[in-house]
Amino acid sequence: MKGRILFAEDDRNLGFVTKEGLEEAGFEVIWCKNGEEAWQAFGKHDLCLIDLMMPKMDGFTLAEKIREKDQFTPILFLTAKSREEDRLRGFEIGGDDYISKPFSMQELVYRLEVFLKRTGDRQEDSNDFLFGDCCFDLKNLLLTVSDQTHSLTQREGDLLALLVASKNQLVKREEILEKIWGENDYFMGRSLDVFISRLRKYLKTDTKIEIKNHHGVGFVLVG
């Protein structure tokens, strides 16, 4: 099996077709028809695939509860909503990516494989990054700033690792988006800004470290 997926989707036709397609692609799929059922089923999963609009518990609430319990497991949202604020809210909650309906099974499988590969690569990499008064344990996605430890999401960790590896050097926005998000467009750029803001909150107690913004160009981790 490529990975164990928690799949929360109330549309039975879409749910059946998606579950069948993912299983044919080699995934183990636990399909739940509403948010409460998915919350009860959440456990040792490699990735969560969550519809935003569900009965009993919506996708935002489900993701918030999962993040309170688990900072590591990637969360991908399925959404028919086109409003930017809904998608940005998902990133602020701790989601890692979104897939817009309707989607192709090929695209979905590709997105899941990318996230699971990054998780596997992270587990093989045991290096710690030391900068300022910070220590970033990439393998376990733990960032220690002074005496406070933060659990990062996979995407937060990927972004921080890229910035730290290029410390004191400008990393262009398009490079970040293509390496971590897999594509460079306006909305992905807005989501990048959300993740930069989250990293700045974690690092704010270390006065030796700063993520500087070169407007419209990119970012530099200075320290």
| pLDDT block averages, 10 residues each, the chain of length 223 | 91 95 95 96 92 93 92 87 74 85 88 77 62 87 90 89 91 91 80 92 92 93 89
CATH at residue 151: 1.10.10.10
What local confidence, expressed as pLDDT, does residue 25 receive?
94
Residues 118 and 130 placed together within one structural domain of the fold: no
What local confidence, expressed as pLDDT, does residue 38 receive?
96
- Total domains in the chain come to 2
Range of the domain at 218: 126-222
Cis peptide upstream of residue 55 (ω within 30 degrees of 0):
no
Is the pTM higher than 0.75? no
Residues 75 and 97 placed together within one structural domain of the fold: yes
What local confidence, expressed as pLDDT, does residue 189 receive?
84
Residues 97 and 133 placed together within one structural domain of the fold: no
What local confidence, expressed as pLDDT, does residue 86 receive?
76
Pairing of β 28-32 and β 4-8: parallel
Residues 141 and 207 placed together within one structural domain of the fold: yes
Residues 84 and 182 placed together within one structural domain of the fold: no
What local confidence, expressed as pLDDT, does residue 127 receive?
66
Contact of 219 with 196, CB cutoff 8 Å: yes
What local confidence, expressed as pLDDT, does residue 77 receive?
92
CATH at residue 117: 3.40.50.2300
